[in-house]
């Protein structure tokens, strides 16, 4: 899955949990300041993203996620690491293709 695909799926999650149109969820948008997403809504979004992208995001990582670009690249790296560990063919192939 490409970073662009991750952003697009993430934007749909953000829309579902906050009502903010997916089109406004851009990589550079600041989560708290530009989009006014509360910390509690962000927890909902991260939990939904964990399910959607089959990853886990430790609480300690949350404080470094200021923009959706940060979130996308975190998810991208987490998926790649997970694929590397498990050696799953599908994910590995996907990562290789990107």
Partner 1 sequence: MSSYRNNAERVVVTGLGAVTPVGEDAAATWAALLAGKSGVRKLTESWAAELPVRIAARAMTDPATMFPAFQLRHMDRSGQFALLAARQAWQDAGSPRVDPERLGVSMATGIGGVASVLNAQETMAAKGWQRLSPFIVPMLMPNGAAALIGIELGARAGVHTAVSACASSAEAIGYGMEMIRSGRADVVVAGGTEAVILPEAIGGFAVMRALSCRNDNPERASRPFDKARDGFVLGEGAGAIVLESAGHAAKRAANVRAAAAGVGYSADSYDVAMPAPDGIGAAMAIRRALADAEITPADVVHINAHATSTPSGDTAEALAISRALGDAARGIVVSATKSMTGHLLGSAGVIASIAAMYALRDSVAPPTINLEDPDDEIIAAGIRIAPGQLELRSRPAKRAALCNSFGFGGHNVTLVFTTA
Nearer to partner 1, 41 or 54 (CB): 41
What are the residues whose beta carbons fall under 8 Å from the beta carbon of 31, sequence distance 6 or more? Answer: 37, 42, 65, 66, 67, 68, 71
Number of residues that bind partner 1 (CB under 8 A): 9
Q: Of 2, 32, 47, 81, which one interacts with partner 1 (CB under 8 A)?
A: 47
CA distances from 62 to 66, 70, 74, 97 (A): 8, 10, 10, 28
Asked if residues 19 and 29 have their Cβ atoms less than 8 Å apart, the reply is: no
Q: Of 3, 8, 12, 17, which one interacts with partner 1 (CB under 8 A)?
A: 17
The reply on whether position 93 binds partner 1 by CB under 8 A is no
Q: Of 3, 34, 44, 94, which one interacts with partner 1 (CB under 8 A)?
A: 44
């Amino acid at each position: 899955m490409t970073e662009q695909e991750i952003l697009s799926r993430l934007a749909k999650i953000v829309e579902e949990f906050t009502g903010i149109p997916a089109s406004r969820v851009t990589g550079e948008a600041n989560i708290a300041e530009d989009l006014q997403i509360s910390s509690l809504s962000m927890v909902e979004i991260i939990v939904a993203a964990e399910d959607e992208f089959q990853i886990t995001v430790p609480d300690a990582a949350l404080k470094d996620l200021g923009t959706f670009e940060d979130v996308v690249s975190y998810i991208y790296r987490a998926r790649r690491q997970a694929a590397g560990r498990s050696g799953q063919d599908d994910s590995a192939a996907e990562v290789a293709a990107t």
